[in-house]
Amino acid sequence: MKKPEIPEDGVNRVTIEVEDGYSAAERLDVLVTTRLPKISRSRVKRLISDQAVLLNGAPAKASAIVPPGSVVEVTFPHPPRPPAGPEDIPLDVLYEDEDILVVNKPAGMVVHPAAGHDSGTLVNALLGRYQNLPTSRGPTHRPGIVHRLDKDTTGVMVVARNENAMTILGKVFHDHDIEREYIALAWGDFLKDRGTINAPIARHIGDRKRFAVHESGKQAVTHWKVLERFGFVTMLALRLETGRTHQIRVHLEHKGHPVFGDNTYGGRMHGLARLTSRQRELGRNLLADLTRQALHARLLSFIHPGTSERVCFSSELPSDMQHVVDQLRGSIPI
């Protein structure tokens, strides 16, 4: 039985083909450990838990039995990146004390260094502002970071300034003991004024950079409420019970109402062909002006790690989203 080779840099994907005549009924974690003897079973279990191991194209549990003829794909994470360096980057500070910093993150700013984004991140800006920030546990260097917003999502973020604040805020976010409200512009009109999307989210089977609703995923709950209707676009307020990656964007796409302008989840050209000629022209013009998904983290409320009192921070719609809203309002006959 030929054992697949693990790439030297530990970054690539390894494919394990289970022969049709293979008779042993092995668990997924046992089979991967057997075929890839250079990695430990505990690491294999972590990879499976992180949904980096696909069984016949879908995430599976470590205890899943692998039938003959199966294909198992193992994706190894990138090696740890070198520590980020300080940079003189201005920040829109909403609040600051000895425990926390609250900022209004702009569109286009990545939260921490990653492939293709070695500088200009929020972490670089924080290191340029503070000398001693606590570092989150894990393989990456993320000083002060306890939660994230997507690169092109704007809005309120809190940063921990000391170890105590990081520990407490980390637990707060882990336990979902926070209030988060987002404003989104979504394609289409909604039949109801409010509702809840309860659908598990996992990595997309065909594209590891995307996520999708899948029964094997982690529970994800999003509450939404219509704020304003513009015919072919609706402004929503959304509150999260869970904090899955791309949660709002994935849930709205799943319901057929992708976030306006979202190139990753079908929000650039969605439904244009079904609009009137006037709406289609307006939609195209607005998409030309808006170069990102129309999603803004408007409100963040949590227990302050220093005072143990609940605090609440909010920010107004950024100018690009406000421009879209103003144009949509102006297009509706009075």
Could you please report the per-residue DSSP string of 287-322?
HHH--S--EEEEEEEEE-TTT--EEEEE-PPPHHHH
Under CATH, which number does the domain 93-174 receive? Answer: 3.30.2350.10
Amino acid at 52: A
pLDDT at residue number 10: 45
Residues with a known catalytic role: 150
pLDDT at residue number 295: 98
Mean pLDDT by 10 residues, the chain (334 residues): 49 78 78 87 90 90 90 79 79 96 96 73 92 68 88 96 93 90 96 96 83 91 97 96 94 97 91 88 94 97 95 97 95 65
pLDDT at residue number 243: 87
pLDDT at residue number 264: 93
Cβ-Cβ contacts under 8 Å for 216 (sequence gap 6 or more): 51, 58, 59, 60, 200, 202
pLDDT at residue number 216: 85
Architecture per CATH, domain 179-331, reads as 2-Layer Sandwich (3.30)
Domain 13-75 and domain 93-174 have a common topology? no
Q: Which DSSP letter does residue 206 get?
A: S
Domain boundaries, the chain: 13-75, 93-174, 179-331
d(CA 201, CA 211): 7
**Two structure tokens written together for 123:** 């972490």
pLDDT at residue number 96: 96
| Fold category of 13-75 in CATH | 3.10.290
**Two structure tokens written together for 270:** 């969605």
d(CA 75, CA 46): 12
